[in-house]
A and B are shown apart, each in its own frame.
Chain A
Amino acid sequence: MSSLSTWQYDTPIKRPLLTAPFIFFSSLAVIGVLLSAKRLIGGLAFTGMNDDFAWGVWKTFNVMTLTALGSSALAMGIVVWLFDQQQLHSVMRTALVSSILFYATGMFALGFDVGRPWNFYNILFIWRWNPHSALLEVAVCMTAYAAIFLLYENLPAFIPAKWFARIKPVYPFMVAAAFVLPAMHQSSLGTLMVIGGPKVHALWQTQMLPFFYLMQAIVCGFASLIVILMVSCLAWRRPIDVPVLSAIAKYMSWVSLAFIVLRYVDLGIRGAIGLSFEATRYSAFFYAENLLLLVPAIILLNERLRRTPRVIFVTSILTALGGLLYRFSPTTFAFRAGGNSMYFPTVTELLMCLGYISLAIALFIYAATRYAILPDQLSPDDSLGDRAGRSLTADETSALHHQLKKD
């Protein structure tokens, strides 16, 4: 199988770091961090949050929604390891690095969102844990995942192989935990909204929320990895391995379709399906989310279209948007359904939200330029590739391009 893949080896992008995109995103990140520091001095009154909408974008978007995009390590890990698709192994590092950055910046956001962050030390005292709390599950599980298991999995890209060799024997056990923990907290993020009961509109409120949140983490994980890989390859002029992307897109469309079927089954069983035919903004959000997931999934069933890079790119973006909309709606658009209260983030709040995202992007650019994160194309017979795994020069790459086109 491995011969199908032309992306065989991860290599650094040996380009100057200080390019326009890096400067743009790191400036936004600096603004976000400075505003965060300022927030620590005062309270949260400058935000759009209120007692009715007690959770704002930092929690509902940066954490509850964006960690779905940061689930590519989980989604790809399951495919590569458990379903033994070794030909996709070359994209694992990209998945791992992007995941840890989404998680780390999400948790960074959480640190400024909570009112009394200094009391986080309670997490160390197991006897203070409330076992009934879904939020406790999220707090403990996410911290353990990001700080231990995901970090461990990321090490091979950043430290010498000699150093990693010492802690390599535990690899399978660490990776196994890196499957179970995100499955736990990604579903618990859904559980969070169940306790709200009718505060969440009936098109979304269901005991299945944890399961659906997990499914969307998988879908968004695939989608974000495809988008990140394609944008990186376009920006840095790396060769694109269509069969690999097409395989990921196939998994994405399957899970997406399964999600939509189960979503309608759930609505049918709960008898809530009629609500979608009423002309309300809730049904509009519901159909927007449905179509954003359904149309790409159906397009990707067609094998020819699934092998067209442009189609893969557009469908992945649409799927990611649909998944994000599904995960964001119960917390905000469909929250306090029918009530008079509303929430809209303030400019400062949004700048901080964007700052955390930009921080992740800037760090990704840094990592990709300095470390072997992005998959590269080495010729099947190694005649064009460097045996030491050195990245190809621009000339070499274009020669490779040329050669492959001829083939």
Chain B
Amino acid sequence: MTLSRRDLLKTAVVCAAAAGTANAAAEAAAPADALGLLYDATVCIGCKACVAACTHANNLQPETALSGGIWQMPTDLSAQTKNIIKVYKSADGREASFVKRQCMQCVDPACVSGCPFGALQKTKFGIVSWEGNQCIGCRYCEISCPFDVPRFEWAKFNPRIVKCELCRHRLADGLQPACTEVCPTGAVTFGTRQQLLAEAHERIRKNPGKYYQDRVYGELDLGGTQVLYLSHVSFSKIGLPEAGDESRAHYGSKVHEVVYKGMAIPAIVYAGVAFLMRRRFKAHEEEARHEEAKSGRPAQL
């Protein structure tokens, strides 16, 4: 990366602004161009066409161990699986639902907030993207993500963080994400977050009582996500955490943002401590000289 003076200035301004308006920034709204997915669990038939298409579109090695190497059978998101269809079934077997899991493309992502050198960034269309050159492989994203999405290539010499990036390479070619392209029933659809939200509310309005709590998961949950869910069973049953509307990024940096706002507090503390230290050190040197003269031993610091 070549860095012009302008870039540096821009970064400095952005850093200062970020530090100054940290709390406001942490409760950010979705970007205007935010793209996303709408998954409707009542429509999904569990065919897993999206799983195969995702693996193919993202050049991943299908997980076939469980089927004896015959067909793809992932059990969870992994370094080889960015998108998965899981099933929920109640103990009495009366209630069941499929659920599609992938990165939620949070409006205010915890992984981006924690990532030390900005390897994970919210880029064009609000997609949470991974940039390998800035990733040290610390896996803090895995610690912070409330949806447990990012995965790490444990076995690789040069491991990557693997997560759905909304097929951003396909979007660049004017295509839509692989999962929405192949979905035969329209259970998962692609569009701008605004369109998808309107569509979801329209479905709720047309089908009273069909959807859990008449609510769109991800509209507000954990600060809002660009991937939205409709479901007939409760969201927590299909693995979506019911954890309030505050984004984890905001929760996790409340104290941090105040203490390090413009580095003012550390600077003031340093100035105070340095002032006191100077006085103490002078007194110490005075005493040391005195002791040296008395004992003949060189004083130790």
Residues of A within 8 A of B (CB): 9-10, 41-45, 47, 49-52, 54-55, 81-82, 84, 86, 89, 93, 113-117, 119-120, 122-123, 125-137, 139, 156, 161, 164, 168, 171-173, 175-177, 179-180, 183-184, 187-188, 191-199, 207, 210, 372, 382, 387-389
A172, B256: Cβ atoms under 8 Å?
no
**Complex Cα–Cα for A195 and B138 (A):** 15
Give B71-120 interface residues, CB cut-off 8 Å to A.
77-78, 110, 112-118
Give B139-153 interface residues, CB cut-off 8 Å to A.
139-140, 142-144, 146, 148, 150-153
Residues of B within 8 A of A (CB): 3, 7-8, 11-12, 15, 18-19, 22, 26, 77-78, 110, 112-118, 132-140, 142-144, 146, 148, 150-159, 241, 243, 248-249, 251-257, 259-260, 266, 269-270, 273-274, 276-278, 280-281, 283-284, 287, 295-298, 300-301
> Contacting A191 at CB < 8 Å: which of B153, B256, B280?
B256
**Complex Cα–Cα for A197 and B284 (A):** 47
Q: Which B residues are in CB contact (< 8 Å) with A135?
A: 114-116, 138, 140
> Contacting B280 at CB < 8 Å: which of A9, A119, A172, A177?
A172
**Complex Cα–Cα for A179 and B280 (A):** 14
Closest approach, in angstroms, between the C-beta of B13 and any C-beta of chain A? 11
Q: Which A residues are in CB contact (< 8 Å) with B78?
A: 51
Closest approach, in angstroms, between the C-beta of A346 and any C-beta of chain B? 12
> Contacting B276 at CB < 8 Å: which of A82, A187, A382?
A82
Q: Which A residues are in CB contact (< 8 Å) with B18?
A: 131-132
Q: Which A residues are in CB contact (< 8 Å) with B118?
A: 128-130
Q: Which A residues are in CB contact (< 8 Å) with B144?
A: 195-196
Interchain residue pairs with CB less than 8 A apart (23) = A9-B297, A43-B159, A81-B277, A81-B281, A86-B287, A114-B138, A119-B134, A122-B136, A130-B112, A132-B114, A132-B249, A132-B253, A135-B115, A191-B255, A192-B143, A193-B143, A194-B253, A197-B146, A197-B248, A199-B146, A382-B295, A387-B296, A389-B298
Chain B residue nearest to A198 in the complex (CB):
B243
> Contacting A195 at CB < 8 Å: which of B133, B248, B270, B287?
B248
Q: Which B residues are in CB contact (< 8 Å) with A114?
A: 136-138
Kindly list the 9 A-B residue pairs having the minimum CB-CB distance in the complex, ordered from nearest.
A115-B137, A195-B252, A54-B142, A127-B11, A176-B274, A116-B137, A136-B116, A172-B277, A54-B139
B300, A192: Cβ atoms under 8 Å?
no
Q: Which B residues are in CB contact (< 8 Å) with A164?
A: 301
**Complex Cα–Cα for A127 and B118 (A):** 10
B280, A137: Cβ atoms under 8 Å?
no
**Complex Cα–Cα for A176 and B12 (A):** 26
Q: Known contacts A116-B137, A172-B274: does B116 contact A133 (CB below 8 Å)? A: yes
Closest approach, in angstroms, between the C-beta of B61 and any C-beta of chain A? 15
**Complex Cα–Cα for A194 and B250 (A):** 10
Closest approach, in angstroms, between the C-beta of A323 and any C-beta of chain B? 21
> Contacting A128 at CB < 8 Å: which of B134, B158, B278?
B134
